[in-house]
């Protein structure tokens, strides 16, 4: 697998603030969540990757090329959707994509084929002739993703793509991005919505105070950041006797009953889900589901930031 994005000791020094040195690589086919507080260096990292900023030292390669020196070639297969898209309000989505398609060097036949396809993929085909100024914030966000996908990019850089998107739209985008990834595309997604990151991403790059504090798999980040882990167990009418038995399992530090069953607090470095499942089944209770808490990534992120001086 080749690197589609490579930072080697990259530094951007603003004088009053310095981002870096950052060293990381993103391989073809990965879906990477770019996390960090506001002002941590995420946007600067994206600007460096897009050749919109020059590193003060170190090196940045996008698609194997210097995005400053070989700007057009390096970004020819890169699509970018900014956090706050500033699109021409007097144009229609179709007109905007026509303009962008021509700038990308797409032929008339290719534009005729791709524009309806990308508009349909983001749910805007029926609004292709509306003025952008008349579209809702969520529709403008959809259009921003559409223009990023024009030209069949192999790398998508998405800065807060779910902002202003309703639940149906978010579900649609998740399906769209998963298909892009399954077809061999690479995605870098900056987001503060941890549930979306956990749903879509295979790995994380976490930046805090201009430093890369983690690069790796989501589960490794959670395991490293949290002192304990929470296992949510959905059980039909758990008895006090069952909860007492769960508490005796080695590695279980506490059990709390809730509306759907119970939550078990597990010692760091232990995985006792199989023992918990066996105990529930042996007790005669109906086990509906078991898994780590959905809020763990949020908790791990906050713990990591606090541990790094945030």
Label the pairing between strands 57-62 and 3-13.
antiparallel
Q: For residue 308, what pLDDT is reported?
A: 64
Q: State the DSSP code for 34.
A: E
Per-residue pLDDT reduced to its tens digit, 186-241:
999 998 888 889 889 989 999 999 999 999 999 899 988 988 989 999 998 888 89
Nearest CA-CA partner of 37 in 305, 308, 307: 305
Q: For residue 195, what pLDDT is reported?
A: 85
Nearest CA-CA partner of 81 in 157, 193, 1: 157
Is residue 23 a contact partner of residue 7, using CB atoms and an 8 Å limit? yes
Spans of all domains in the chain: 3-222, 227-307
CATH number attached to the domain at 3-222: 3.40.50.300
Q: For residue 245, what pLDDT is reported?
A: 95
Q: For residue 309, what pLDDT is reported?
A: 55
What pTM value is reported for the model?
0.85
Nearest CA-CA partner of 180 in 6, 67, 28: 28
Strand order in 203-208's β-sheet?
78-81, 155-159, 186-190, 31-35, 203-208, 211-217
CATH number attached to the domain at 227-307: 3.30.70.100
Low-confidence ranges of the chain (pLDDT < 70): 1, 308-310
């Amino acid at each position: 697998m080749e690197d589609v994005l490579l930072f080697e000791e990259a530094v951007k020094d603003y004088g009053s603030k310095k981002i870096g040195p950052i060293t990381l690589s993103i391989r073809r086919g990965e879906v990477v969540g770019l996390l960090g507080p506001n002002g941590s260096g995420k946007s600067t990292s994206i600007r460096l990757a897009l050749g919109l900023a020059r590193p003060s030292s170190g090196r940045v390669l996008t698609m194997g090329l210097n995005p400053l020196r070989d700007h057009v070639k390096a970004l020819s297969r890169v699509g970018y959707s900014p956090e706050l898209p500033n699109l021409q309000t007097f144009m229609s989505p179709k007109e905007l994509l026509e303009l962008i398609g021509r700038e990308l060097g797409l032929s008339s036949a290719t534009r005729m084929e791709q524009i309806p396809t990308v508009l349909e993929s983001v749910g805007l085909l029926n609004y292709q002739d509306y003025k952008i100024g008349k579209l809702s914030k969520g529709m403008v966000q959809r259009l921003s993703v559409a223009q990023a996908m024009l030209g069949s990019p192999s790398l998508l850089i998405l800065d807060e793509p779910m902002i202003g998107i309703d639940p149906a739209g978010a579900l649609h985008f998740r399906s769209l991005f998963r298909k892009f990834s399954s077809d061999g595309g690479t995605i870098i997604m900056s987001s503060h919505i941890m549930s979306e990151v956990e749903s879509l991403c295979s790995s994380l790059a976490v930046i805090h105070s201009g430093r890369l504090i983690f690069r790796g798999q989501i589960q490794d980040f959670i395991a490293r950041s949290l002192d304990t882990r929470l296992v949510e167990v959905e059980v039909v009418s758990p008895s006090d006797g069952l909860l007492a038995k769960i508490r005796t399992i080695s590695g279980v530090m506490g059990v709390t009953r809730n509306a759907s069953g119970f939550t078990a607090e597990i010692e760091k470095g232990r995985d006792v889900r199989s023992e918990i499942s066996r105990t529930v089944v042996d007790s005669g209770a109906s086990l509906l589901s078991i898994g780590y808490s959905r809020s763990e990534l949020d908790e791990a992120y906050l713990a990591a930031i606090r541990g790094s001086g945030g």
